[in-house]
Amino acid sequence: MPNGKAKDRFLKPLVADYEELLGRFQQTESVRFEEFTAIWRNMGFSSVFYGSLAGNEMREFCHLTLTMAFNYFLPPYSFQIRVGGLYLLYGLYHTQLASPKEKIRIALKDWEQIQKFYQDSVNSQHYDAVYIIRKLIAENAVLYTAMPQMLTFRVKKKPQHHKVCEEFRDRPERVKDLISTDMLQEVANIQGHHERLKASVLERSSIAVTQQDLPARLHSCVLEFLHWQDRHENHGDADHLVYAEEKAQQVESSNRAQLLASIKTKSYGCLAEASKSRRHRQVEMDTSISGTGYIKEAPKYHKSRAPSLKARTNKNLCGEGDEQKIQYWLLSAAEEDKTALKRQKRKHSFRW
């Protein structure tokens, strides 16, 4: 695929065009191939391959188009969007300009989802989708691989992540899948067997452990939930805007309250401990005056220094209070030798 800036330059316009095409197909509320081809021709989607690319660049671009389109053929998208993704793959494969044609990569982890989609299409009698799947397989347009992307040796590539479009996401149908027609039939059979056993054991069975119309009640609950889900989707955009506005107001109020609380804490909080170099300037609280926090400055403290070497020498040699001057250059001379107290002058000056 194109690397670096070229890849980003192709990727964003492709995703925008795909979402525009599938969005129009979603508005038709149909899964017919005829509806999709009408939108394809109206948008002129075949011209996506027209450009100045040639050779290996065109092949890389075709590979990128098929890879990005294949993401819309997989969950979590709805059934209609997945059908549109299948039609999109079919159209891109037959209109690409690479020779030989670039194939559609299908990884092993995605094959189970494709088989389930094919079976659902057969059960729902959506034969257009069934025909397209069989057509692609018959034309050998599918390349079965172990990994979704091609792996290269000692090449660092940025992993490609597909951002799911929330408008195309399939709504959750866990309740519908849980309470299916087969399950309701099984519940009805178990309840009938229970009633027969109770009638054979007790002559007058006045004890009612289960409800008589349990399958019908479950079916009505499922229908009510589906109707509520449809109404909620129709009004979902307005509700989402109201909720977002209320959430923004709550966040703004919360931020303002936190700011005021932090200001009060700094103003009325306890005094912070001063550093070691400024502890002589600390103040202390005196609450004995009028019950208020009267602040007075603590007495200054001067640190005493150790006596210098000169002071210690004077003290050791002369004693305290003795101001006798000592010739430091001749401390060992005798007091009787008067000539020793005088320095001898040099006869000759030093010459370089």
Domain boundaries in the chain? 5-169, 176-237
Q: Which two tokens stand for residue 82?
A: 């997945």
Contacts 24+ apart (CB under 8 A), 245-250: none
pLDDT higher than 90, residue 76: no
pLDDT at 78 over 70: yes
Phi, psi of 316, deg, nearest 5: -75, -35
At how many degrees (to 10) do helices 214-234 and 236-268 cross?
70
- Predicted TM-score (pTM) of the model is 0.52
Dihedral angle sign, alpha carbons of residues 134, 139, 145, 150 = negative
Per-residue model confidence as pLDDT tens digits over 232-278: 665 544 455 455 556 666 776 777 778 778 777 776 665 555 555 55
Which among 238, 239, 219 is positioned nearest to 227, based on CA atoms?
A: 219
Under DSSP, is residue 149 helix (H, G, I), strand (E, B) or coil?
coil
Q: Which residues have CB under 8 Å from 215's CB, separation 6+? A: 184, 185, 187, 188, 191
Question: Is the pLDDT score of 132 beyond 90?
Answer: yes
Specify the 3-state DSSP secondary structure of 52. coil
Write the pLDDT tens digit of every residue in 27-67: 998 999 999 999 999 999 999 988 767 778 888 889 999 99
- 272-319: per-residue pLDDT in tens? 555 555 555 544 444 444 444 444 555 555 567 788 888 888 888 766
Residue 160 has pLDDT above 70, yes or no: no
Instruction: List pLDDT tens digits, range 161-171.
Output: 677 777 777 66
- What's the alpha-carbon Rg for the chain, to the nearest Å? 46
